[in-house]
């Protein structure tokens, strides 16, 4: 095996992340298994599942070409409660009656296109030089900044009160949890199905896509 942190093997791994481990844990596992340096092109929360792009070896220098890709998600949102983290790991901070179908559809209409959404408190954004989620864990209250997000698609797949099933395609840096909070709820499940032209159906943790193939797919 090549020394850990080496430049080979080089390429892209499409990984179907399970619920539980962090994105860093997945990257660490691949680094240990291959001996190559490794990095992901967009994190997933521990509770979330789905497509994680991991670059290996010398291909990590191309990371910025993948980080900015739009991403597609499917999520279930409980519209009867808001949590401190926007997901099931946080504490309930507000409870209310779920919206009617008509009100929900109106809320979805307002979130399509260019929107300003508040970044969730339990995120990796740095506040005063420290990760927001670390501040949140210590109980430090901070005013989270807004972020402009492009919501290319936002579709209602089904609604059985209080849970709405949604499919969405967001610009890089967009937070599904922020969409859930804007609707007055929190994510109870979250799965990333696409990153740019890369599809979850093609995920295979044992296959390293050669750099030239990965870049040609990127340019399609």
Which are the catalytic amino acids?
45
DSSP string, the chain: -PPTTBS-S-EEEEEEEPSSS-HHHHHHHHHHHH-B-EEESS---TT-EEEEEEEEGGGGGGTHHHHT--EEEEEEEETTEEESSSSTTSPEEEE-PPPPHHHHHHHHHHTSEEEEEEPPSSSS-EETTEEHHHHHHTT----PPEEEEEEEEEEEEEEETTEEEEEEEE-TT--HHHHHHHTT-EEEEEEEEEETTEEGGG--TT--B-HHHHHHHHT-
Provide the token pair at 35. Answer: 């001996």
């Amino acid at each position: 095996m090549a020394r850990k942190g080496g430049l080979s093997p080089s390429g892209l791994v499409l990984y179907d992340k399970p619920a539980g481990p962090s994105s860093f844990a997945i990257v660490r596992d691949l680094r240990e298994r291959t001996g190559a340096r490794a990095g992901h092109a967009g994190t997933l929360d521990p509770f979330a599942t789905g497509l994680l792009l991991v670059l290996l070896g010398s291909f990590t220098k191309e990371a910025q070409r993948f980080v900015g890709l739009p991403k597609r998600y499917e999520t279930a949102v409980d519209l009867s409660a808001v949590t401190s983290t926007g997901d099931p790991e946080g504490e309930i901070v507000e409870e209310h009656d779920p919206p009617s179908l008509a009100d929900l559809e109106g809320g979805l209409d307002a979130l399509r296109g260019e929107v300003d959404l508040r970044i969730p408190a339990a995120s990796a954004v740095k506040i005063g030089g420290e990760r927001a989620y670390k501040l949140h864990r210590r109980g430090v209250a901070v005013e989270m900044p807004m972020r402009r997000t492009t919501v290319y698609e936002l579709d209602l797949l089904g609604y059985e009160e209080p849970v709405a099933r949604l499919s969405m395609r967001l610009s890089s840096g967009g937070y599904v949890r922020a969409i859930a909070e804007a609707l007055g709820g929190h994510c109870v499940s979250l799965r990333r199905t696409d990153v740019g032209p890369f599809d979850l159906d093609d995920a295979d943790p044992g296959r390293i896509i050669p750099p030239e193939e990965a870049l040609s797919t990127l340019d399609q």
